[in-house]
């Protein structure tokens, strides 16, 4: 992550009605993060300002993707979704830019969300239902959003922010030949799935436990930085991630408490059905999307996983054998 020079803050802060001296460091994504977040006062409330840098070779593509994702998140916020809502600048734009040094610096503002990140060991049926309802609401709203199969580059007419692009990026990143072969098999299975307005669209693409803030019964969804055009089942399988990893097995290790996993699935589904219907055939396909997520995380975490040879071997075996996790007709 590139440090933000003081001169950049001096130039960007006034675009949001603030001074650089008003900004306070709030969070950053570490070495692999794409930006730094600051808090600042805005009248009687407090806002967040995210600042990031694009190199010359990344600028056009980076701005295209950022604009699409901010437009989508702004639409969701306007229609009542509880999210880290991106707001317009005083100039009526979703982001502001300045050139400094060798980079284009970009900033956008959003509401500050209240609440706490749940523990991976949390077991609360009401929270699980609310989580399901939150994801279901995003899927209900996205069915009225103009972009649903892909975003279109206005200059070239080419599609971007697609599931195939995501798949290709991880294919190129993967360092294990056997895992790469299974990744190809996953793609072949996905290619055979129907793409319909009620099952596919612009989605959050990362609504796991660590992208939620919980304040009583209110769940706020954070971080639309990887929002993409995908099947709704993708979001649902990602919501299962923390349970599969921390409580029941099924992600990097075999399922050890299937009844508990199915109980979570029932609670989550009860909430999801308040907003959108998941048909039985898509419930039966969730194992495919869990397998997709298992490989994706294996690729992302490869360095850390290889430091644990036993864990690495078990995780890889789960990828190669792809055992049933939820199974057919499970809930």
Strand, helix or coil for residue 321: helix
Residues 34 and 156 in one domain: no
Residues 146 and 92 in one domain: no
Residue 137 covered by a domain: yes
Say how many domains are in the chain. 2
Residues 288 and 181 in one domain: yes
Residues 99 and 162 in one domain: no
Residue-wise pLDDT tens digits, 210-230: 999 999 999 999 999 999 999
Residues 107 and 178 in one domain: no
Give the per-residue pLDDT at 78. Answer: 96
Which CATH number belongs to the domain containing residue 87 in this structure?
A: 3.30.200.20
Q: Which stretches of the chain are assigned E, i.e. beta strand? A: 24-28, 36-42, 45-55, 86-87, 96-100, 103-111, 151-152, 159-160, 200-203, 212-215, 218-221, 228-231
Residues 296 and 229 in one domain: yes
Domain limits for position 102: 6-111
pTM of the complete model: 0.94
Residues 219 and 313 in one domain: yes
Residues 159 and 270 in one domain: yes
| Closest to 12 in 3D by CA, of 110, 108, 112, 92 | 108
Which CATH number belongs to the domain containing residue 217 in this structure?
A: 3.90.1200.10
Residues 316 and 240 in one domain: yes
| Closest to 139 in 3D by CA, of 58, 76, 208, 189 | 76
Residue-wise pLDDT tens digits, 102-160: 899 999 999 998 999 999 999 999 999 999 999 999 999 999 999 999 999 999 999 99
Residues 314 and 219 in one domain: yes
Residues 83 and 147 in one domain: no
Residue 227 covered by a domain: yes
Using the predicted structure, report yes or no on whether residue 259 has a pLDDT greater than 70.
yes
Q: Please give the angle made by the CA atoms of 187, 65 and 106, to the nearest 5 degrees.
A: 145
């Amino acid at each position: 992550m590139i440090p933000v020079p003081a001169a950049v803050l001096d130039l960007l802060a006034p675009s949001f009605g603030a001074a650089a001296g008003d900004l306070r460091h709030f969070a950053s994504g570490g070495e692999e993060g794409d930006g730094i977040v600051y808090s600042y006062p805005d009248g009687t409330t407090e806002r967040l300002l995210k600042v990031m840098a694009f190199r010359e070779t990344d600028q056009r593509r980076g701005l295209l993707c950022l604009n699409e994702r901010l437009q989508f998140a702004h639409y969701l916020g306007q229609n009542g979704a509880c999210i880290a809502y991106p707001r317009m600048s005083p100039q009526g734009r979703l982001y502001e830019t300045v050139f400094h040094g060798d980079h284009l610096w970009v900033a956008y503002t959003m509401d500050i969300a209240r609440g706490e990140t749940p523990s991976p060991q949390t077991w609360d049926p009401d929270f699980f239902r609310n989580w399901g309802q939150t994801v279901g609401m995003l899927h209900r709203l996205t069915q009225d959003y103009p972009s649903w199969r892909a975003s279109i580059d206005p200059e070239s007419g080419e599609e971007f922010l697609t599931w195939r692009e995501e798949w290709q990026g991880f294919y190129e990143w993967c360092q294990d030949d056997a895992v790469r072969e299974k990744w190809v098999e996953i793609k072949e299975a996905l290619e055979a799935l129907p793409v319909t307005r009620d099952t596919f669209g612009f989605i959050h693409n990362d609504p796991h436990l660590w992208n939620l803030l919980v304040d009583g019964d209110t769940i706020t969804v954070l971080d639309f930085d990887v929002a993409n055009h995908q099947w709704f089942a993708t979001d649902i399988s990602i919501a299962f991630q923390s349970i599969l990893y921390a409580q029941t097995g099924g992600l990097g290790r075999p399922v050890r408490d299937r009844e508990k996993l199915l109980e979570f699935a029932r609670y989550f589904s009860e909430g999801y059905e308040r907003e959108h219907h998941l048909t039985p055939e898509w419930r039966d396909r969730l194992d495919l999307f869990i397998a997709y997520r298992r490989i994706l995380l294996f690729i992302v975490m490869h360095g850390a996983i290889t430091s644990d040879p036993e864990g690495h071997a078990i995780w890889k075996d789960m990828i190669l054998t792809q055992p049933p996790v939820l199974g057919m007709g499970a809930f």
